[in-house]
Structure 1
Amino acid sequence: MAIRAILTDIEGTTSSIAFVHEVLFPYARARLPAWLAAHAGEPEVAGQLAATRAEAGLPPEAPLAQVIEVLLGWIDADRKATPLKALQGRLWADGYAAGDFHGHVYADVPPCLRAWQAAGLVLAVYSSGSVQAQQQLFAHTACGDLTPLFSAYFDTRIGHKREPASYTAICAALGLAPAGVLFLSDITEELDAARSAGLATVQLVRDGTPDPQAAHRQVTAFTAIDPYA
């Protein structure tokens, strides 16, 4: 079946791992306690705090200071917890708006995305970061606003990235058969899950040498990807 859509990961695929771990994570960690103290009463934030308590096994009345310690621990452990990702997304939105940083994308990414969209392919994003964080990153790149290129965004609310059911659900949301969707990621386990769900796969190897024994086709840049191959 011909490829009709490209679903892409972000970290290590469109964007540098270093940007996430050396810019975004420290920015959120440094500001999280004061920001939560100021915004904890907002319904959206309160909902994420309640979800944090539930996921961490804390009682509903656990104090904010205890919840903050849990969230900071999750940041340090790079835990893919949905409430943490939602709160980080809010903090990063403030940082983008203030011009504290720009969303990093590799130079080969924007021209390929534009060419694929112009060729009629549907482009979508699937990342552990919240949909808001995904949109903010692509809206504030040094190459300008890339969000008009994407038709859909998915995060861990649809399922975790190493579970085949997540990719089945994404294809259903896109209204496409799995065989018509190409998934791009740097993580073998994510690609394994996508392939198990019937998607085509390509592995990005941005900062190393491709493994000739790899189970997925490997490339070092988007320019080496032919969706129709």
Structure 2
Amino acid sequence: MGRLAVPPTVTAFLLDIEGTTTPITFVKDVLFPYIKDNVKEYLHKHWEEEQCQEDVSQLQKQAEIDAHLDGFVPIPSFSDGTADLQTVVQAVVDNVHWQMSLDRKTTALKQLQGHMWKSAYVSAQVKGEVYEDVVPAIRKWREAGMKVYIYSSGSIEAQKLLFGYSIEGDLLKLFDGHFDTTIGHKVESESYRNIAKCIKCSPENILFLTDIIKEAKAAEEAGAHVAVVTRPGNAALTDEEKSKYHIIASFSEIALPTTQ
């Protein structure tokens, strides 16, 4: 634990979000409860809009696929007159709550959540959280000519909402690009080679910051440099993990080659 001297080969920082730039609790305690608490109101407010109708249609199709599962919540059709609006809306609410209780990641659920979060960010009901050491450090890195990228399992759209509507304002100009699992999963070393190709550098030119050991291992196997970030609420590290990886508690502990 302590100061990390950035290797001289590094020209780009690759940052994880949850547990690295942003508290893990932000997703668990802010974003997901927002969906549960506001889905009924959101549906009533936006029901006539094409996007909302498409979201409901996708949830209905998913519900048909899920009909064999325990606790399954059907969603009747409003358009054919078999159910009134209140009944359909309540069924969608119950279905969304059921899916979220099982931590499902269906495309239909993620699509509705994405639209709801966008609405929440734009209306300032929700603001993306970042640790206070993050923005000053990134500004310093960029001033030194470093590139800065985000790599998260959350979609690129969700990443841009979090940083575009953050507690510190619009931070998108601080990043040179965003990656999500469409480039590959974060625990697979090939993903980091793919990112290096995309940003036209070698893996050894990248310093990846994450709180997840499996991700750190995958990036290291690809040839990237790695540091593991310990933040409040992050998973505890074993003594072996602490001895194997560079460990930092804050971005302020990172020293660029020119400042060593």
For residue 43 of structure 1, report the CA deviation from its aligned partner. Answer: 10
CA pair 77-196 structure 1, distance change in 2 beyond 3 A: farther
For residue 184 of structure 1, report the CA deviation from its aligned partner. Answer: 0.8
For residue 35 of structure 1, report the CA deviation from its aligned partner. Answer: 4.9
Count of residue correspondences:
225
Is structure 2 residue 222 aligned with structure 1 residue 213?
A: no
Task: Output the CA distance in 1 between the equivalents of 2:160 and 2:48.
Answer: 22
| Pairing of 1:1-229 with structure 2 (within 5 A) | 2-32=9-39, 35=42, 38=47, 41-42=50-51, 49=58, 53=62, 72-73=97-98, 75-78=100-103, 84-207=109-232, 211-214=238-241, 215-228=244-257
Task: Output the CA distance in 2 between the equivalents of 1:39 and 1:202.
Answer: 48
Deviates more, 1:167-176 or 1:105-114: 167-176
Deviates more, 1:196-205 or 1:164-173: 164-173
CA pair 169-86 structure 1, distance change in 2 beyond 3 A: farther
CA pair 115-139 structure 1, distance change in 2 beyond 3 A: same
Question: Could you list the per-position Cα deviations for residues 166-201 of structure 1 after superposition, in whole angstroms to 9, with x for gaps in the alignment?
Answer: 222211111111111111111111111111221111
CA pair 133-212 structure 1, distance change in 2 beyond 3 A: same
Deviates more, 1:168-177 or 1:208-217: 208-217
Task: Output the CA distance in 1 between the equivalents of 2:10 and 2:92.
Answer: 44
Question: Could you list the per-position Cα deviations for residues 63-88 of structure 1 after superposition, in whole angstroms to 9, with x for gaps in the alignment?
Answer: 68899877655533445666654543
TM-score (norm 1): 0.81
Q: Secondary structure at the match of 2:149?
A: strand
| Mapped contact 1:85–1:130 kept (Cα < 8 A) | no
| Mapped contact 1:86–1:132 kept (Cα < 8 A) | no
| Mapped contact 2:75–2:95 kept (Cα < 8 A) | no
Task: Output the CA distance in 1 between the equivalents of 2:247 and 2:125.
Answer: 34
| Greater RCO, 1 or 2 (C-alpha within 8 Å, sep 6+) | 2
| Mapped contact 1:90–1:132 kept (Cα < 8 A) | no
| Mapped contact 2:43–2:52 kept (Cα < 8 A) | no
Task: Output the CA distance in 1 between the equivalents of 2:189 and 2:104.
Answer: 20
Identity of aligned residues (%): 35
* Unaligned 5+ runs, structure 2: 1-7, 68-73, 77-87
